[in-house]
Structure 1
């Protein structure tokens, strides 16, 4: 039986893949990358991450500052902060399923930020 973290990743991955012209690719380590036309917009996983944990990294040009106030978001300096990439980490005791709507919104925001303008406009105009 899958853990809540595995269920969440499966649902978030399916949501990301439902967006126009996306694919899933293996990252350089244990991560999995959602991409739009070869540009990464979401990263699942982290080094030595246990089965009952999940890390999601997304670009949040609109809500980055607000996201940093949430207890499951890790503060990062340097490139991540400068480019507004947020890292959400859920451990074994965290209720990741309660945050699915927020995480889907972040995936959508990240997709729009990284997709070619035409694809981003299609998404924002359709309200998906």
Structure 2
């Protein structure tokens, strides 16, 4: 089973490996950005991991899971979804990575998106 810290590190590294992705730390949380636009927010606390992403294609599917909810601050109305995990929860890293890429594609210029493998 993956610890919250291991999951955070893996997802953060995956997001930062996308073309031109950078990290900023507003409000003490990790914001991964492409060309100045946030595509994922990651937050790790002692007993909780959360990540928020814009899912223009799979939002409705994502919301069937118990670990997801529309993102607060009005972002949920724009297709943002937050996934939250507690200690001991099983985290599907492959699914989270697919959602990170979907969110990245929502904000990255087309020429950067074309550098990624074709969508499934």
Change (3 A) 1:34 1:78: closer
Q: TM-score, normalised by structure 2?
A: 0.88
Q: 1:116, CA displacement in angstroms?
A: 1.3
Change (3 A) 1:19 1:84: same
C-alpha distance in 1, partners of 2:11/2:72? 26
1:62 pairs with 2:57: yes
Deviations 1:31-53 (A, max 9, x none): 111111111000011xxx63121
Tell me which protein shows more helix as a share of its residues.
1
C-alpha distance in 1, partners of 2:17/2:45? 27
1:102 pairs with 2:100: no
Change (3 A) 1:54 1:114: same
Equivalent position SS for 1:122: coil
Q: Structure 1: 5+ residue runs without aligned partners?
A: none
Change (3 A) 1:23 1:76: closer
Q: 1:80, CA displacement in angstroms?
A: 2.0
Q: 1:121, CA displacement in angstroms?
A: 2.6
Aligned residues: 118
1:51 pairs with 2:42: no
Q: 1:81, CA displacement in angstroms?
A: 2.4
Deviations 1:52-84 (A, max 9, x none): 210100010000001000010024567222210
Structure 1 stretches (4+) deviating beyond 6 angstroms?
Answer: none
CA RMSD of aligned residues (A): 1.9
C-alpha distance in 1, partners of 2:33/2:118? 20
Tell me which protein shows more strand as a share of its residues.
2
1:91 pairs with 2:86: yes
